[in-house]
C-alpha cells in the first residue's frame, strides 16, 4: 500500500500542493507522529532534574522543558512529534527555568560523543564503512578506557547509538557527577593526547656503568614496563604484545603497509621496523625477545624503536573528532540525543544497548523501527546513491523515480538523496 497521511496524501493524490505545504516535511512529520503514537520512550534517570529540548518541523530549538513524570514526557512527544529530541547531561533543581543561574546545576553525567563523519578519512568512505570505523574507536573507548583504566562498572556506562552517524557513552557515577569542565577536559586529554616522550612510556635500564677519567660511562637498554602496570605504560606493553600476536603470521607486505599508514613512517623505516622484529629463526627473532623479557633492544636504532612505539600509541588513542566532538565531554550543560527518539536526518531510532550488545549491533539494520516497514513511497532521485538498510540494498538514480519502504524513504529524504515530487 502507499502512504496516506492527512494533507500529505491529499497533496500526492491531487498532484498539486495544498497551501504552502512542503511534501518532504509533511511526510517526515506524518511518520514521526505514527512513531510517537506507538513508541514507549523510556525517560533518562532522574527525570525531574533533567532539561529537555526539541526541534519541531517549524525549526529552531525549543528548550528549557521539564517533565515531572514519564507520562508527561510521553504525552508531549506524542503531541509534538519532534524532528529531533534531546535531554541534558546535567541535573538541575529547576530544569525548566529560563536561565542557567535559576536552574541551579547539581552535577552532570560524563558524556562521550563519537561521530563517524569526524573520523580521519571519512570523506572517502561509504556510510557503512564509516559506521565500522567509528565502532572500532568507540569499543576502544569503552573497553580500554572507561572499563579498564577508569574502572567503571558496565552498569555505570550506557551505550547509545545516536540515530545519526555515531555513538554516545553516558557515564552515570557519583565519582564523575560533580567534575567541572577542566577536570573533564583532563579525562579527554588522557584518552586522546598521551605523552609523546618515549622515556615516559618505556623503561630505561642501566646495564653497565664504567668510570673513565672520573666520568661515569653509563649504557642503557630499553624495556617495556610489565603488562599490569597502571596507566599508559601498561597499555603500551599490552598493545605491543597484541601487535606481535596479530601480525606474526601476516604477510610481510601487509605488516609494512600497516606501519606505513602511520604518519612519519615511510618505506625505509617500515622495513627497518619489520626486520628488527621478524628476521631470524623462531626463538631468536626480535619479537621472541620482546615476549620473553620485554626487551626493545632488537630495534637497535633509537629512531626505529621510537617510531614503532609512536605507531603503537597512535593506534591506542581514541579519535574523538578533535575540536568537533571533544567539547561534548567537557561541557557540563550539554544537551544530548534522547534515547528512544527518532533522528530527523535518518529516520533511525536512537538506540540504547549493553556493552555486550554493541558487538553485533549494525545501525542500518537494527535501528529501523518495524512500523516503518509496511507501506511504500515513491521518490525522485537527486543524485546516484546506494545504501543498505535492513539487509536490503536500495539504489537511486538522479532524476529517476523509485519506490521504497517508509524507512528507506525517511533515510533518503533526510540525507537529501531523494525528494518527493508533486
β-pairing, 376-381 vs 61-65, is unpaired
Supply φ then ψ for residue 228, to 5 degrees.
-90, 10
CATH architecture of 1-29+372-422: 3-Layer(aba) Sandwich (3.40)
How far is the C-alpha of 338 from the C-alpha of 161, rounded, in Å?
10
165: DSSP letter? S
- Strands 84-88 and 52-55, bridge-based pairing: antiparallel
Low-confidence ranges of the chain (pLDDT < 50): 1-20, 323-324
Average model confidence (pLDDT) across the chain: 88
Q: Which of 117, 325, 366, 419 is flagged as catalytic?
A: 325
Handedness of CA 128, 131, 137, 143 (dihedral sign): negative
Which residue ranges make up each domain of the chain? 1-29+372-422, 40-188+323-368, 198-316
**For residue 82, is it left (φ>0), alpha (ψ between -120 and 50) or beta?**
beta
Which residues are CB-contacts of 42 (< 8 A; sequence separation ≥ 6)? 70, 339, 340, 352
288 in catalytic set: no
Q: Which CATH number fits domain 40-188+323-368: 2.60.40.350, 3.90.920.10, 3.90.1150.10, 3.40.50.1820?
A: 3.90.920.10
115 is catalytic: yes
Q: How many CB atoms lie within 10 A of CB 117?
A: 15
Q: Residue 186 has what pLDDT? A: 92
pLDDT at residue number 208? 61
Options 113, 156, 319, 331, the catalytic residue: 113
Q: Could you confirm whether 325 is annotated as catalytic?
A: yes
Say what the pLDDT of residue 326 is: 64
- Give the pLDDT confidence score for residue 390 in this predicted structure: 94
pLDDT at 16: 36
Amino acid at each position: 500500500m502507499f502512504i496516506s497521511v492527512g494533507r500529505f496524501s491529499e497533496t500526492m493524490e491531487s498532484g498539486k500542493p495544498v497551501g504552502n505545504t512542503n511534501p518532504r516535511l509533511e511526510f517526515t512529520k506524518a511518520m514521526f507522529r505514527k512513531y510517537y503514537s506507538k513508541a514507549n520512550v523510556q525517560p533518562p534517570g532522574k527525570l525531574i532534574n533533567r532539561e529537555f529540548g526539541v526541534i519541531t518541523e517549524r525549526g529552531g530549538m525549543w528548550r528549557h522543558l521539564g517533565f515531572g513524570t514519564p507520562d508527561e514526557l510521553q504525552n508531549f512527544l506524542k503531541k509534538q512529534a519532534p524532528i529531533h529530541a534531546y535531554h541534558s547531561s546535567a541535573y538541575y533543581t529547576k530544569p525548566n527555568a529560563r536561565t542557567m543561574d535559576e536552574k541551579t546545576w547539581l552535577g552532570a553525567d560524563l558524556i562521550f560523543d563519537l561521530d563517524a563523519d569526524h573520523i580521519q578519512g571519512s570523506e572517502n568512505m561509504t556510510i557503512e564503512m564509516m559506521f565500522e570505523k567509528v565502532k572500532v574507536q568507540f569499543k576502544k573507548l569503552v573497553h580500554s578506557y572507561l572499563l579498564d583504566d577508569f574502572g567503571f562498572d558496565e552498569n555505570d556506562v550506557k551505550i547509545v547509538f545516536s540515530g545519526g552517524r555515531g555513538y554516545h557513552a553516558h557515564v552515570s557515577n557519583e565519582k564523575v557527577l560533580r567534575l567541572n569542565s577542566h577536570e573533564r577536559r583532563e579525562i579527554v586529554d588522557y584518552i586522546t593526547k598521551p605523552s609523546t616522550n618515549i622515556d615516559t612510556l618505556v623503561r630505561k635500564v642501566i646495564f653497565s656503568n664504567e668510570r673513565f677519567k672520573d666520568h661515569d660511562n653509563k649504557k642503557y637498554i630499553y624495556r617495556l614496563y610489565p603488562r599490569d602496570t597502571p596507566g599508559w605504560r601498561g597499555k603500551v606493553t599490552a598493545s605491543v604484545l597484541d601487535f606481535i600476536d596479530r601480525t606474526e603470521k601476516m604477510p610481510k607486505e601487509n605488516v609494512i603497509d600497516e606501519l606505513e599508514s602511520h604518519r612519519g613512517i615511510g618505506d625505509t623505516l617500515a622495513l627497518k621496523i619489520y626486520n628488527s622484529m621478524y628476521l631470524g629463526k623462531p626463538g631468536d627473532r626480535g619479537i621472541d625477545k620482546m615476549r620473553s623479557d620485554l626487551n626493545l633492544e632488537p630495534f637497535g636504532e633509537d629512531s626505529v624503536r621510537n617510531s614503532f612505539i609512536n605507531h603503537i600509541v597512535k593506534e591506542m588513542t581514541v579519535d574523538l573528532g578533535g575540536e568537533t566532538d571533544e567539547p561534548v565531554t567537557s561541557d557540563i550543560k550539554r544537551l544530548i540525543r534522547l534515547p528512544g527518539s527518532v533522528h530527523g536526518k535518518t529516520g533511525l531510532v536512537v538506540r540504547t544497548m549493553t556493552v555486550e550488545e554493541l558487538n553485533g549491533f549494525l545501525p542500518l539494520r537494527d535501528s529501523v523501527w518495524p512500523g516503518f516497514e509496511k507501506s511504500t513511497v515513491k521518490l525522485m532521485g537527486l543524485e546516484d546513491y546506494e545504501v543498505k538498510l535492513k539487509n536490503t540494498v536500495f539504489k537511486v538514480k538522479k532524476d529517476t523515480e523509485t519506490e521504497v519502504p517508509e524507512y528507506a524513504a525517511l533515510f533518503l529524504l533526510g540525507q537529501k538523496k531523494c525528494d518527493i515530487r508533486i
